[in-house]
Amino acid sequence: MTKNWEKNIRKVVPYVPGEQPNKANMIKLNTNENPYPPAPGVFGALRAFDTDGLRRYPDPTAHVLVKAIADHYGLEEAQVFVGVGSDDVLAMCFMTFFNSGQPILFPDITYSFYDVWAEEFRIPYQQIPLDEDFQIRPGDYVVENGGIIFPNPNAPTGNLIPLETVEEIVKKNPDVIVIVDEAYIDFGGVSALPLIEKYDNVLVVQTFSKSRSMAGMRIGYAMAQPQLIKYLNDVKYSFNSYTMNPLTITLGAAAVADEVYFQETTKKIIATRERTKAALRELGYVFGDSMSNFLFVTHPALSMEQLFEDLKRKDIYVRHFKRPERIRNYLRISIGTDAEMDILLEALRHYPD
Ligand code: PMP
């Protein structure tokens, strides 16, 4: 029998993260993690970490981390907000900025957390179809709306839109907040960060999970004009003041400090991506020109859902999305090391034998 309290429960259909299997010889290309370890300085900072400090509550402003990020990008500290991964930052943004009652806009094929947050926070939304090449059509975002969010490069397609197109969307929507989710921008994209000096309605959100090899540490950040950052902090403090723990703050700051390592590893991933594109093309796979650390591929003669299962049986994990229908015959394949991609390519060369 349904209880009376049932009707008052906030029911949500949750976001489903990629599997996190833990097998010795698996090839894990399903959650866009970085195949290389965090910067060596992170290990040094971990060894020097004073556990006695854990007695105390952390610095609620996460000053050391905020300053490291601000210095790195040449910003004021007041222009940086940090959170527990960009998922946390984006959730805070939804709660803070999308309250007009008008539908917010995002692409129909995009990060599948956006509609989950919109549902959870009761924000009306409209999913704008990508064109037949899975590209954002900027003109579609010039309609009355309650805010806009899109990843650039988009996920799971990997397609990048140029800075001028991002600017056009921001410029044409001066009355709402536009969030550019740049989780994958460091793999060859041009960041919209310069726009935050020019426009008071844009936020750029990035993460340590991909290009800085720190998915397990959970660090994300938003950059914008101080007024927007203040609004975000007000909501954060009204929710949980201590989102960032001292170890995260310390190791995060160490990760930002090592620019050489960052450049080296992102360059390696880009090179592996381009090599993988060439090899997949030879095998008849079809895909857009991804500028991220993953490829979004299909094959005119193969079932991607079947391939997903068959690869999994060989402990090669990639990602398949059953919805939306338009992407059902696609796989998202994260870029691993050269050796990992070789194993995948070898399996594909012999597929389905
Ligand atoms: N945005 C996009 C587009 C993503 O693909 C992801 C990774 N799942 C995130 C945000 C969140 O990443 P994180 O919370 O690890 O920073």
pLDDT of residue 18: 86
Q: What is the pLDDT of residue 154?
A: 98
Q: Please, which residues bridge with residue 334 across strands? A: 294
**Which residues make beta-bridge pairs with 150?**
180
- pLDDT of the residue at 237: 97
pLDDT at 130 over 80: yes
User: Which comes out higher in pLDDT, residue 308 or 13?
Assistant: 308
What sections of 4-52 are H helices per DSSP? Answer: 40-48
Give one word for 232, left, alpha or beta, with left for phi > 0 and alpha for psi -120 to 50. alpha
Instruction: Indicate the pairing of strand 220-223 with strand 202-207.
Output: antiparallel
Band of pLDDT at residue 1, cut at 50, 70 and 90: confident
Instruction: Tell me the average pLDDT across 267-280.
Output: 98
Token pair listed for 159: 């397609």
- Ligand 1 pocket test target in 84, 157, 181 with most atoms within 8 Å of CB: 181
Residue type, 16: V
Contact status, residue 152 vs residue 106, Cβ threshold 8 Å: no
Dump pLDDT digits (tens) for 180-222.
999 999 999 999 999 999 999 999 999 999 999 999 999 999 9
Question: pLDDT digit string (tens) for 250-262?
Answer: 999 999 999 999 9
Closest CA to 121 of 142, 141, 149: 149
Does ligand 1 have an atom closer than 6 angstroms to the CB of 111?
Answer: yes
The minimum-distance atom of ligand 1 relative to the CA of 151 is 3
pLDDT digits (tens, 9 = 90+) for 230-248: 999 999 999 999 999 999 9
Alpha helices by DSSP H, the chain: 40-48, 63-73, 85-97, 114-120, 163-171, 195-198, 226-237, 246-257, 259-282, 304-313, 338-349
Q: Which domains are delineated in the chain? A: 16-38+260-349 (3.90.1150.10), 41-258 (3.40.640.10)
Residue 353 has a pLDDT of 77
10 Å CB burial of residue 298 (0-12, 13-18, 19+) is: middle
Dump pLDDT digits (tens) for 296-349: 999 999 999 999 999 999 999 999 999 999 999 999 999 999 999 999 999 999
Please determine, for residue 71, whether its predicted confidence score (pLDDT) is greater than 90.
yes
Q: How confident is the model at residue 2 (pLDDT cuts 50, 70, 90)?
A: confident
Tell me if 87 CB under 6 Å of ligand 1: yes
Mean pLDDT value of segment 269-288: 98
- Asked whether 220 lines ligand 1 (CB < 6 A), one says yes
9 pLDDT exceeds 80?
A: yes
Across residues 61-78, what is the average pLDDT? 98
d(CA 236, CA 220): 14
pTM: 0.97
Please tell me the predicted confidence (pLDDT) of residue 265. 98
Does the beta carbon of 155 sit less than 6 angstroms from any atom of ligand 1?
yes
Cα separation, 107 vs 150, in Å, equals 7
CA of 52 to the centre of ligand 1 (A): 32
Ligand 1 centroid from CA 265, angstroms:
19
Mean predicted lDDT score pLDDT of the chain? 97
Distance 111 CA to ligand 1 centre (A): 8
Question: What are the phi and psi torsion angles at 155 (to 5°)?
Answer: -120, 140
Type of residue found at 288: G
Q: Which residues contact 175 (CB under 8 A, 6 or more apart)?
A: 201
Instruction: Choose which residue among 161, 207, 321, 332 to substitute to test ligand 1 binding: the one with the highest number of ligand atoms within 8 A of its C-beta.
Output: 207
